[in-house]
Amino acid sequence: MRGFITRHPSSAPWDVKQIRDLLLRPVGGGGPTVRRALGQNDLIVMGGSCQRTWDHAIPKSARASGLGISLQFRPDGVR
C-alpha cells in the first residue's frame, strides 16, 4: 500500500447501491462540465493531476438511498 500513496492525494469514490453522476470540470471553469454515470459497484480512482486540475463532485440526489464511500489516500503531512 505504501507504494500507492504518493505526494499527490488520491480519491476513490465508490457507490455500492445505485447509479450516481460524477461531475468533472477544469479548475477555474475554462471548459465544459463532463458528466459520467457511475453504476452500481463502480469505483473510480482519481489521482495525480486530476486532483489538482479538475473540480469533481457527486451531487446529492432525491433518489439517493444507498451506501456511498469516499476514500482519501494521503501521505503523512499532506492535507
pLDDT digits (tens, 9 = 90+) for 18-61: 778 889 999 988 889 999 888 777 777 777 788 788 888 888 77
Q: Which cell is 13 given?
A: 469514490
Residue 13 CB neighbours (<10 A): 20
Model-level pTM greater than 0.75? Answer: no
Query: Which of 51, 23, 54 is closest to 37 using CA atoms?
Result: 23
3-state helix, strand, coil in the chain (%, to 5): 5, 40, 55
How far apart are the C-alpha atoms of 58 and 79, rounded to whole Å?
Answer: 21
Of the pLDDT bands very low, low, confident and very high (cuts 50, 70, 90), residue 72 is: low
